[in-house]
A and B are shown apart, each in its own frame.
Chain A
Amino acid sequence: MILKNLISRLFALTSSIVVIFASTSGFAETDNPLEFSGFARVVAGYLDEDNATFLGYNNSISINQQTLVGLQADYQINDSLSATGQFIARTGDDKDSDLEWLYLTYAPSKSLRFKLGRQRTPIFNYSEVVDVGFAYPWISLPQQVYRTFLFPTYEGLHTQYEYIGKKVSLGLEAYAGGTDKDFTSNGRVVDTHIDSLRGGVGTIGYKGWNFRVSYHRGHVDTNQSELNAFSNQLRQLGFTQSANSIKTAGVGRFYQASAFYEDVDYFFRTEVMQLKADLSLAPKTKGYFISAGVNFDPISVYASFSKDINRYGQPSSEIPTGLSPQLDALAFGYQQIFSQSIDNDTKSYTIGLRWDWKQNLAFKVESTLLEENNALQGLFTTRDVNNFDGQAMLYQVAMEWVF
């Protein structure tokens, strides 16, 4: 009943928008300077596990985690200048509805493009279209690469240059900016300030292959007042190493490389990433996924494997214990901070099917075996540590629509 109501409301909303703007919407270029378009996804998921939750899913069917509607308006100011805004209404508890993109595009030539304003950070291949499920085969992107929360959006300048040769095409992108944003992680709002954010992306296309490498860095300040106060207290008492080890601000760096191949019959995709962040509660992470599939147009089937390794900084042992109750309490409080930072490895095995029913409407089914090695931390959002074995099956079905 809830599913039916939600789908009805979603369709009512998007249909109204489509009807209202029917004269200006569409993918093909028109003479109208104002164009509206959008995307919607309805995702139902079920985690076959009583003792853990994942991405908001538990052992009952839920459609409130990844279901969303996005609307985009493009206004062509003149031949080389345009303005774009994209608003996304979400259902997930951990996700805010927001104006995700708001930028001006200046294209002095067909090969050069500048975008100024609020944008998604182009860290990975699909970072900018995480919400547009129609753009990729999976229902949930491989989490071992795509779940990292550091600087997903920014306000700044993005430059893109493209060269197409007889046999090879090359692309270069560079951007710089920063942002202040509240990110919600595991139900907890983290007030985050990001500055000195910059990065570069290089791509090479050759026949059906596309290779991409990129580097991104930014200074992140997660304003966690309790941790900051405790760090200051440690510093005043002379425990500098301990104080430094619970930094809530520092530089985060992403390294990314990917190789995609596709033709009419097959596709293969692999992407590797490394994250290094000077923050006590952010692990050093290495992750990758490998995916391959076969097309029986309009149906494609695929299998994916993804893995990550997460390593946290170790706590200092400079606070002496057994000398006074005050120092013991201090040492205990300090160690407690690290009790939630446990090294872990996680894996996912996914098989799925996508059926492009219409030119702009696709259905997907997907099942994923999720694994975290220690059943304490890593992949799952919550778990009953006494009963959870670290493994669970996630089943999802989705409808993806662009209009």
Chain B
Amino acid sequence: MKILFSLFVLTFYSSFLIGEENSIKVVANIQDRSIQLSRQQVRNLFMGGSLPYDLTAISLPPNSHTRVLFNTKVVGLTESRIQSYWAQMRFTGRKPPPTELTSETLIIEYLQTHPGTVTYLPADVQIPEGLTILFQIN
């Protein structure tokens, strides 16, 4: 019984860790801390769309594990398809892709000094004061 209980605790804890590891949160440097976004709004924001709020998306590079998670859980498209989408947008003069920064550390620093910017990060990353979580998905 004790072994069974230990296994149960271990399994629960592992799944919790895996869940946390694969969770994504969308954070922004904004004044209005009451804003919450839906998945559709986040998806559109990072695909070049404009929300009623003055937000500018900042993205990680395509080889980032966090970006792959974000593509899968929020955008719902493969990286290949996202690249072909940006080719379509760019060569028809429609929307520019988000600015890309090479690491999560750089992005956090950038957000802190640029009001109105928004990005996605792994849920276990410590969010500095001044940044607001707009959306989270497990």
Chain A interfacial positions (CB closer than 8 Å to B):
27-29, 37, 39, 70, 72, 84, 86, 101, 103, 105, 109-111, 113, 115, 119-120, 122, 126, 128-129, 132, 134-136, 160, 162, 164-169, 205-208, 262-264, 267, 295, 297-298, 300, 354, 356, 359-360, 362, 402
* Nearest chain A residue, comparing its CB with the CB of B59: A28
- A37 CA / B90 CA spacing, docked (Å): 9
B:73-112 near A, CB below 8 Å: 76-81, 83-88, 90-94, 96-97, 99-100
Separation in Å of the A84 CB from the closest CB of chain B? 5
Beyond A120-B92, A135-B91, A263-B77, whether A360 also contacts B50 by CB under 8 A is no
Q: Quick one: which of A37, A101, A135, A300 contacts B88, CB cutoff 8 A?
A: A135
Chain A residues lying within 8 Å of B93, measured Cβ to Cβ, are 84, 101, 103, 105, 115, 119
- A241 CA / B45 CA spacing, docked (Å): 57
**3 closest residue pairs by CB, A with B:** A110-B50, A356-B80, A135-B88
* Nearest chain A residue, comparing its CB with the CB of B89: A135
Q: Evaluate contact between B62 and A359: CB separation under 8 angstroms.
A: yes
* Nearest chain B residue, comparing its CB with the CB of A103: B93
Q: Evaluate contact between B92 and A166: CB separation under 8 angstroms.
A: no
Chain B residues lying within 8 Å of A132, measured Cβ to Cβ, are 87-88, 91
Q: Evaluate contact between A86 and B91: CB separation under 8 angstroms.
A: yes
Q: Evaluate contact between B44 and A164: CB separation under 8 angstroms.
A: yes
* Nearest chain B residue, comparing its CB with the CB of A86: B91
Q: Evaluate contact between A169 and B49: CB separation under 8 angstroms.
A: yes
Q: Quick one: which of A70, A205, A208 contacts B44, CB cutoff 8 A?
A: A205
* Nearest chain A residue, comparing its CB with the CB of B99: A29
- A263 CA / B39 CA spacing, docked (Å): 14
Q: Evaluate contact between B50 and A109: CB separation under 8 angstroms.
A: yes
Q: Evaluate contact between A39 and B87: CB separation under 8 angstroms.
A: yes
Chain A residues lying within 8 Å of B83, measured Cβ to Cβ, are 134, 356, 359-360, 402
Chain A residues lying within 8 Å of B62, measured Cβ to Cβ, are 359
B 32-74 binary contact with A (CB < 8 Å = 1; else 0):
0000001011001100011110000000001000000001100
Beyond A135-B87, A295-B78, A360-B83, whether A166 also contacts B40 by CB under 8 A is yes
- A402 CA / B90 CA spacing, docked (Å): 10
Q: Evaluate contact between A129 and B91: CB separation under 8 angstroms.
A: yes
Chain A residues lying within 8 Å of B71, measured Cβ to Cβ, are 264
Q: Evaluate contact between B40 and A298: CB separation under 8 angstroms.
A: no
Chain A residues lying within 8 Å of B81, measured Cβ to Cβ, are 262, 267, 295, 300
Chain A residues lying within 8 Å of B84, measured Cβ to Cβ, are 134-136, 362
Q: How many residues of B contact A (CB 8 A)?
A: 33
Beyond A103-B93, A162-B49, A402-B87, whether A169 also contacts B80 by CB under 8 A is no
Q: Quick one: which of A27, A262, A263, A300 contacts B86, CB cutoff 8 A?
A: A27
Chain B residues lying within 8 Å of A134, measured Cβ to Cβ, are 83-84, 87
Separation in Å of the A155 CB from the closest CB of chain B? 15
Q: Evaluate contact between A164 and B87: CB separation under 8 angstroms.
A: no
15 A/B residue pairs, CB under 8 Å, sorted by A: A28-B97, A72-B90, A84-B93, A129-B87, A132-B91, A160-B94, A164-B41, A169-B44, A263-B76, A267-B81, A297-B79, A354-B80, A359-B62, A362-B80, A362-B84
Q: Quick one: which of A28, A103, A264, A300 contacts B100, CB cutoff 8 A?
A: A28
Q: Quick one: which of B44, B49, B78 contacts A297, CB cutoff 8 A?
A: B78
Separation in Å of the B44 CB from the closest CB of chain A? 5
Chain B residues lying within 8 Å of A29, measured Cβ to Cβ, are 96-97, 99
Separation in Å of the A37 CB from the closest CB of chain B? 6
Q: Evaluate contact between B90 and A27: CB separation under 8 angstroms.
A: yes
Q: Evaluate contact between B92 and A262: CB separation under 8 angstroms.
A: no
Which of B88, B91, B92 has the most chain A CB atoms inside 10 A of its CB?
B91
Which of B72, B78, B93 has the most chain A CB atoms inside 10 A of its CB?
B93
* Nearest chain A residue, comparing its CB with the CB of B97: A27
Chain B residues lying within 8 Å of A160, measured Cβ to Cβ, are 94
- A342 CA / B49 CA spacing, docked (Å): 46
Chain A residues lying within 8 Å of B86, measured Cβ to Cβ, are 27
Besides the known contacts A86-B91, A359-B83, 17 further A-B residue pairs in the complex with CB atoms under 8 A apart: A28-B97, A29-B96, A39-B87, A122-B92, A128-B91, A128-B92, A132-B91, A136-B88, A160-B94, A164-B45, A164-B49, A164-B50, A166-B38, A205-B44, A262-B77, A297-B79, A298-B79
- A319 CA / B32 CA spacing, docked (Å): 79
- A167 CA / B39 CA spacing, docked (Å): 8
Chain B residues lying within 8 Å of A113, measured Cβ to Cβ, are 94
